Structure 1
Amino acid sequence: MTETVGDKPLWDRPAAELAAGIREKSFSATEVAQAFLTRAEETNPHVNALVDIRPDEVLTQAAEADAAVAAGGDLPPLLGVPVSIKINTSQRGFASSHGVAAWAGAVAQGDAACVAALREAGATLLGRSNSPAFAVRWFTSNDLHGKTLNPWHPGHTPGGSSGGAAAAVAAGMTPIAQGNDIGGSVRFPAYCCGAVGLRPTVGLISGVEPRGAEEFDSPLSFQTMAVHGPLGWTVDDVRLGLHAMVTPDLDDPVGLPVRPPLGTPGRVKVALVRDAGVVKAQPAVNAALDDAARWLTEAGHEVEEVELPELGEAARLWSLLLYQELKTMMTEIEMFGDDAVRDSLASSFRAAAQIWGEQPSLTDYIRGYARRGTLIGRLQRYLGQDRVVLTPVAAEVPFEQDADLAGDSRMAELLAAQWPMQAVPVLGLPAISVPTGLRDGLPSGVQLIGGRFTEDLLLHVASDIEARAPRGRPSFAWAQPDPGQGL
């Protein structure tokens, strides 16, 4: 097996390069799969990012990809490229456990729409990525699969809820990972692990469950705010993952009937927003914004620092609209969830009560959704097709592990710090988290927000940051021998 070609091992090559090499027969899909399996064997025991790797099935998929190359003809864009799938997303033959011990045997009979799209694009599905129970924490641990660690520093969160996806990408176990995001669950883990994470426009990628699966009456906030999206080590990885995952699907209540244009990069105006009137950013966060603004100016973009209080207002609405609906699901969460998710949500609700009161009324909720529509209109007019907003990913550096369990005061700080993660889902806009390097041994990064269906514009601007930001893989210098977690 050839696991190194040229000056870089196969596991450290971008997805587009892997796909091209497989098509051109520079190396085989089997060699690529084996390289990533070996890398996972080396690194996953330290971080517990992927929780269900089946090497025989992975190599069977790779052999099928090699057979397709040998047969010739048109080949799909992700042929032979390893991709992980999150444990709360249906993948046939694997448990959709949601990190809940009682659901460990809930084996999916089919694929969610976004997984089917990845399969059709030729991806080799390599492992299931860990998340918190019910995917409702910015930290990744559960009683079924254990805790996922940040590959840069085990004392800090890898993010959540797609923390396993981000940790796996950063560690080199997969170049692309599927995740989902209703409050930062793609963008925040990417930030914490030094990867790239894209939250697409609502309706662009379908997560509809396979036909025949048990129906779930999705709350309105889930329908209007939750999306599936790609994480990757590079912006190009994420671009390739996005285009593979786009799924016109009228079964999705917000799905589109066609593949919309994803924007055409042109002259870009960049509006820098530091705090949106919510909370001041830590010095390291402001330094990352300064770096990104300078790099974008060097790249020829027009950067202007502005106030945009609509983002802060949208963030506050998130803790009303989402949490009021999560409260209706607490019977199931109390019954099947672990202590961490129960305690975290209870503390979250108390933090939100400082904004909305102990018992927000139905009128508050209705007016909240009405206000949401007004804010979307304002922001969409402001952004248009040629402007992006540059914000922090969070107002703090990656949180200490389990900070949401450290008491109500700390939870209130976390809720405020995550305003950039909360505002975007309420607005239904696309956003990307892109790394800017390391500070004091921890990843740093920024977020870019665009108008609806301007994903290519975001990727274009993110590429200009990526081209100037120092990058490197985690060394695992902190790692001890196998802690008993992993494959």
Structure 2
Amino acid sequence: MPHQQDLWRWSAIDLAQAIGKRSISSRDAVQASLDRIAAVNPAVNAVVQVLADEAMVAADAADAAVKSGVATGPLHGVPVTIKVNIDQKGCATTNGVVAFRDVIAEDDSPPVANLRKAGAVIVGRTNTPAFSHRWFTDNDLHGATRNPWSLRLTPGGSSGGAAAAVAAGMGAIAHGNDFGGSIRYPAYACGVAGLRPTPGRIPAFNPSATSDRPVTAQLMSVQGPLACSVADLRLGLAAMAAFDPRDALWVPAPLNGPPPATPIRVALVPDPFGDAAPEVSAAVRAAGRLLADAGYAVEEAMPPRFQEAADLWHRLVVNEERIFLQPAIRSFGDDKSKRNLDGHIAYAPMLTADEIIVSLQTRVGVMRDWQLFLDRYPVIVMPVSQQLPFRDNQDMEGQQVFSAMLDAQRSLLATPVLGFPSVAVPTGLAGGTPVGVQVVAGRFREDLCLDAAEAIERHVTMGTPIDPRR
């Protein structure tokens, strides 16, 4: 039986299997996770609410269930974390905002409920920027989350706490969400894997919300897992994707689709806009070589209307935020969230209502063109960002720097507009900085993304979980 102090290194898959076989206990696994949080969280501030007592009660219940022989879920007894911007019964849904510190959820949101049904044990809640609206994770309520690899780098955002937590071994799987890269960018920055599923795949709803989400959030915002391995992403997806009647947009699509013709054709896009950092383009080409070695048919090919897709994110999302999000940030946001919003508003064109409607029409045509492209190339490998992970708080360095930063995120922003799933998977380090790629496939073909990402990951050693105190 492994020593308890080593269990924080284990994958979710290994933990679940060992707990199910009673070769280890959930109590041991959860205690190891809590001990790891106590040891390394002060260095990174990823987990902003530790749920030790609740977690140990859940772990004991998980062990009792195994002993009684009842059927268990795929994450039975496995320690996980939840981002503070979704409802978890009895916890504050702060969303990183001081004014929301006492907004105590009366019920679980669907991702939390589904993780519990799968047997997961929630050990803590992870940090996010105020209103979950930056690619950096810092707020006046919970403070700054640090990248476990380097204090000079952003941990990403808005699921920066989630990514830092799994990178440092504080939980086997972390819950996150992604509207404009908030799963994939933190995964990229922290050298872990993150899945942005197809909209409708994982049910979402915050019982504490006073109104339903605005239109672009309904079209583009998703919930998803982050982990140190692609196999754990697959497990997290299976757990989180269960039906919940509170989400009217949930789709009962199978987790695995029909196999495409082989060899599976891959479109490699090393430099979609002509401004990618050399290390980024090299990572995409390296991933292409690994896929070719794994039997994929890889060639460089440019998806259609790429720039247009990225521009649509700003045209649609930021104009909607001018109406729905800006008043709340102006009233309750911290200084950094207000300055970040200013940067987005200055970058995005202001549209009339008629122009927004035309942009929604245009979106469908761009999606169609990409679907035709994906019919020829079922998998696309491209950058997460055109640049290596940003300096921490780089968005506070003035509008010129901010605009260049947004230019670098065009690959990140095109994917939500198009509604396709994608996986951020690390490919190694560039001068000590994590670097990786984004693997994209057709709607509800997370299986193709995960398969290709796993083929890439198989030959990459990141050394996660890592020790941020080194």
Q: Does TM-score exceed 0.5, indicating one fold?
A: yes
- The answer to whether structure 1 residue 465 and structure 2 residue 460 are counterparts is no
In structure 2, the residue matched to 1:85 is 82
In structure 1, the residue matched to 2:181 is 184
Aligned partner letter, 2:213: S
- The answer to whether structure 1 residue 4 and structure 2 residue 33 are counterparts is no
In structure 2, the residue matched to 1:485 is none
Q: 1:220 to 1:475 in 2, by over 3 A?
A: closer
Aligned partner letter, 1:15: A
In structure 1, the residue matched to 2:254 is 260
Aligned partner letter, 1:341: S
- The answer to whether structure 1 residue 201 and structure 2 residue 198 are counterparts is yes
Q: Aligned ranges for residues 379-458 of structure 1 at < 5 Å? A: 379-384=370-375, 387-458=378-449
Shift of 1:383: 1.2
What is the alpha-carbon distance in structure 2 between the residues aligned to residue 173 and residue 452 of structure 1?
32
Assess if the C-alpha contact under 8 Å between 1:152 and 1:474 holds in 2: no
Aligned partner letter, 1:27: I
What is the alpha-carbon distance in structure 2 between the residues aligned to residue 77 and residue 22 of structure 1?
11
Report the TM-score when normalising by structure 1: 0.93
Assess if the C-alpha contact under 8 Å between 2:270 and 2:382 holds in 1: yes
Aligned partner letter, 1:376: M
Assess if the C-alpha contact under 8 Å between 2:270 and 2:280 holds in 1: no
3-state SS of paired residue (1:51): strand
Shift of 1:386: 6.3
Aligned partner letter, 1:335: S
Gaps of 5+ in 2: none
3-state SS of paired residue (2:426): strand
What is the alpha-carbon distance in structure 2 between the residues aligned to residue 235 and residue 351 of structure 1?
35
Assess if the C-alpha contact under 8 Å between 1:223 and 1:253 holds in 2: no
- The answer to whether structure 1 residue 308 and structure 2 residue 299 are counterparts is no
In structure 1, the residue matched to 2:331 is 335
Shift of 1:291: 1.0
What is the alpha-carbon distance in structure 2 between the residues aligned to residue 477 and residue 22 of structure 1?
28
In structure 2, the residue matched to 1:344 is 340
Assess if the C-alpha contact under 8 Å between 2:304 and 2:370 holds in 1: no
What is the alpha-carbon distance in structure 2 between the residues aligned to residue 70 and residue 474 of structure 1?
30
In structure 1, the residue matched to 2:294 is 299
Aligned partner letter, 2:279: A
Aligned partner letter, 1:255: W
Of 249, 270, 293, the residue aligned with 2:266 is 270
- Map Cα deviations across residues 339-359 of structure 1 (whole Å, 9 max, x no partner): 00000110121122xxx3xx3
Aligned partner letter, 2:326: M
Aligned partner letter, 1:201: T
In structure 2, the residue matched to 1:94 is 91
Assess if the C-alpha contact under 8 Å between 1:134 and 1:337 holds in 2: yes
What is the alpha-carbon distance in structure 2 between the residues aligned to residue 153 and residue 281 of structure 1?
22
What is the alpha-carbon distance in structure 1 between the residues aligned to residue 98 and residue 239 of structure 2?
32
Aligned partner letter, 1:4: H
Assess if the C-alpha contact under 8 Å between 2:428 and 2:436 holds in 1: yes
Aligned partner letter, 1:349: I
Aligned partner letter, 1:106: V
Aligned partner letter, 1:274: P
In structure 2, the residue matched to 1:36 is 33
What is the alpha-carbon distance in structure 2 between the residues aligned to residue 369 and residue 275 of structure 1?
27
What is the alpha-carbon distance in structure 2 between the residues aligned to residue 309 and residue 154 of structure 1?
38
Identity %: 44
Gaps of 5+ in 1: 480-487
What is the alpha-carbon distance in structure 1 between the residues aligned to residue 464 and residue 318 of structure 2?
36
In structure 2, the residue matched to 1:232 is 227
Equivalent pairs, count:
467
Q: 1:130 to 1:477 in 2, by over 3 A?
A: closer
- The answer to whether structure 1 residue 165 and structure 2 residue 198 are counterparts is no
What is the alpha-carbon distance in structure 1 between the residues aligned to residue 352 and residue 216 of structure 2?
16
What is the alpha-carbon distance in structure 1 between the residues aligned to residue 24 and residue 377 of structure 2?
40
What is the alpha-carbon distance in structure 2 between the residues aligned to residue 137 and residue 220 of structure 1?
20
- Map Cα deviations across residues 353-412 of structure 1 (whole Å, 9 max, x no partner): xxx3xx322222111100101111111222139611100010000000011110001111
- Map Cα deviations across residues 314-339 of structure 1 (whole Å, 9 max, x no partner): 11100110000111121111110000
3-state SS of paired residue (2:450): helix
Shift of 1:177: 0.5
Of 112, 124, 128, the residue aligned with 1:127 is 124
Assess if the C-alpha contact under 8 Å between 1:198 and 1:433 holds in 2: yes
What is the alpha-carbon distance in structure 1 between the residues aligned to residue 242 and residue 199 of structure 2?
12
3-state SS of paired residue (2:92): coil
Aligned partner letter, 1:260: P
Q: Aligned ranges for residues 106-145 of structure 1 at < 5 Å? A: 106-145=103-142
Assess if the C-alpha contact under 8 Å between 1:264 and 1:457 holds in 2: no
- The answer to whether structure 1 residue 245 and structure 2 residue 250 are counterparts is no
